Amino acid sequence: MLGESEENGPEVIRRAGLTPSWSPRGDLGMHEPIAGGDLSLRRAGRQGRPVLASCRSPGSTCPHALVAGGDPRRPIVKLLGYFDDSEENGALLLEYLPQGNLQENLHSNSKQVLPWRNRVAIAFQLVQAIEHIHEKCIPQIVHGDIKSSNVLLDKNFNSKLCDFGSAKVGFSSMVQPSAISPRSRHVTMVGSPGYTDPHYLRTGVASKKMDMYGFGVVVLELISGKEALSAGNGEMLVHVAAPLMHEILDSSIDITEDSVRGFLDPRMLRDSIDIDEVKTMLGVAALCISSPPSLRPSASQVTETLIQKIPSLSFLGSGKRV
């Protein structure tokens, strides 16, 4: 069905109860299954309209358009087309990934527990997606909302990045001008609780480093199975992990296997886990959430580290980049 979805886009939109003003388009993300399971539809109201409208403009620098086309193996959810005919209504027609999002798979009461090698593969594919938008798109893109619910999984649990609604294009900084009085000052911040870079919250400056912070939090989720922001007590995972992160970054401390295993998701089969791989993943997470942001690695540096130090990635054929 995906092979003919672009051609049949108007029919899918009609079945979703919308009057079509249809245009096919390349890659992006979000997730609501429709049309028998091979497509998904994102409805966009007034908040989503500027993104849809900018995609429609010739020569637009909309993030949706900038990641379009190219290698279909790239780990970014494919945008098949969009619908937009009024101030109130709009929709994006997207590739459907049947395993849902990473947050659901890690934190729901599902009987299926993601094995370790799938978790490191998900981290690797996610940082490849970030590397693509940071370093290979022209102009470059800052996603602005890297989190586990924006990582979708296909039938084989390969991951794809979605939802560029908070993305910033090119030289991405947004600081409220000082000439505006404090009373009238208003900045629309992006990101999600538990994933948002504290430096961004303090300054309003959006950069690639804020995406790497969000990636670091997702890596901690993958290792621990804990939520970025606990629904029970409101505790942030970065705060729970802080003592271990400090030990990881302190070269004078030899991290014990017990400390590492104590942070692991207890649902995973321990015998199938390489502790050295866990230490590598913890080291990546610690660097990605470190402060100041200048200490954080780039996505390409993390990609190289994972290729070199995570043998579990061999089943992906990961010596070649997607």
Residues 186 and 56 in one domain: no
| Same domain assignment for residues 32 and 167 | no
Which pLDDT score is estimated for 83? Answer: 64
pTM metric for this prediction: 0.78
Q: Count CB-CB contacts under 10 A for residue 121.
A: 24
| CA pair distance 264, 259, nearest whole angstrom | 9
Catalytic residue (one of 145, 163, 197, 211):
145
Tell me the two tokens of residue 22: 């249809």
- Judge whether 154 counts as a catalytic residue: no
- Domain, as residue range, for 59: 17-95
Between CA 211 and CA 146 the distance in angstroms is: 6
Whether residue 184 sits in one domain with residue 52: no
Residues 124 and 74 in one domain: no
Cα dihedral across residues 40, 75, 139, 200: positive or negative: positive
Residue 187: per-residue pLDDT:
52
Alpha-carbon distance 227 to 223, whole Å?
A: 11
Q: Return contacts of 4-9, CB within 8 angstroms, 24+ apart.
A: 5/38, 5/39, 5/80, 5/93, 6/80, 6/81, 9/80, 9/81, 9/93
Phi-psi region of 234 (alpha: psi -120 to 50; beta: other; left: phi over 0): left
Domain count for the chain, please give it: 2
My answer on whether 62 and 158 are in the same domain is: no
Q: Are 124 and 310 in contact (CB under 8 A)?
A: yes
Are 111 and 43 in a shared domain? no
152 has which bridge partners?
101, 160
256 and 114 share one domain: yes
pLDDT string in tens for the chain (322-residue length): 233 344 455 555 455 554 445 455 444 434 444 444 454 544 443 333 322 222 333 333 445 545 544 455 678 888 777 666 555 556 667 788 889 999 999 987 777 899 999 999 999 999 999 999 999 888 888 999 999 999 999 999 999 998 877 778 765 444 333 344 444 455 555 678 999 999 999 988 889 999 999 999 999 999 999 999 998 898 999 999 999 999 999 887 888 899 999 999 999 987 779 999 999 999 999 999 999 999 999 999 999 999 999 998 987 764 444 3
Domain of residue 151, CATH code:
1.10.510.10
